[in-house]
Structure 1
Amino acid sequence: MATSIVQFDLTNPQHVAMRKLMADIYARHVEAHSQGLPLMALRYLGMAQGLEKVALYVLADHALTQLCFDLSCALYAQQECLLEVAA
């Protein structure tokens, strides 16, 4: 069974720009958690969800939407794990 994996199109300037934003949001989310700032980390999760909406509604790029969705899911899962450990 073949599976398709969505990837960045590095020849597309929008994908390159969004990739940089996504990496920055991910790094800042991790940093906020490491500094004990869960509300700040939550803001970065919101930014990731905002990028997903931009990719879908503004850029109409379904591959980019999927990548942003994956980032949102990863940040959410990471946040849930860290909150469980803290409890």
Structure 2
Amino acid sequence: MANSTVQFDLTNPQHVAMRKLMADIYSRHTTAVANRAFDTMKRYEGMAQALEKVALYVLADHTLHQLCFNLSCALYAQQECLLEVAA
């Protein structure tokens, strides 16, 4: 996976707040993966997708949208790998 060219602007309070939310979602999703809690994994993936929409449509921040999109893609990829192993 290529490195993202967008970065959080840690002087922007919205970016700091979103970063905390994203870290929390990622952490909880990882715990769900470890526990093989498939429904919970999907729930956290949905939360990441919701953050994408907030970043784009509410905050109109394309940088945050890209970062949230990257998170959504990472969560999806983790789920797909786990599902392949489980099959």
TM-score by length of 1: 0.94
Cα deviation per residue 1:17-68 (whole Å; 9 max; x = unaligned)? Answer: 0000000000000101111211001000000000000000000000000000
**Bigger radius of gyration, 1 or 2?**
1
Following superposition, which runs of at least 4 residues in structure 1 exceed 3 angstroms of deviation? none
Identical-residue share of aligned pairs (%) = 77
Q: Which runs of 5+ in 1 are unaligned?
A: none
Which residue of the partner structure matches residue 8 of structure 1?
8
The alignment yields a C-alpha RMSD, in angstroms, of 0.9
Which residue of the partner structure matches residue 19 of structure 1?
19
Distance 2:13 2:68 in 1: 16
Q: Which runs of 5+ in 2 are unaligned?
A: none
Amino acid at match of 1:51: L
Distance 2:34 2:74 in 1: 16
Distance 1:40 1:65 in 2: 23
TM-score by length of 2: 0.94
SS at match of 1:7: coil
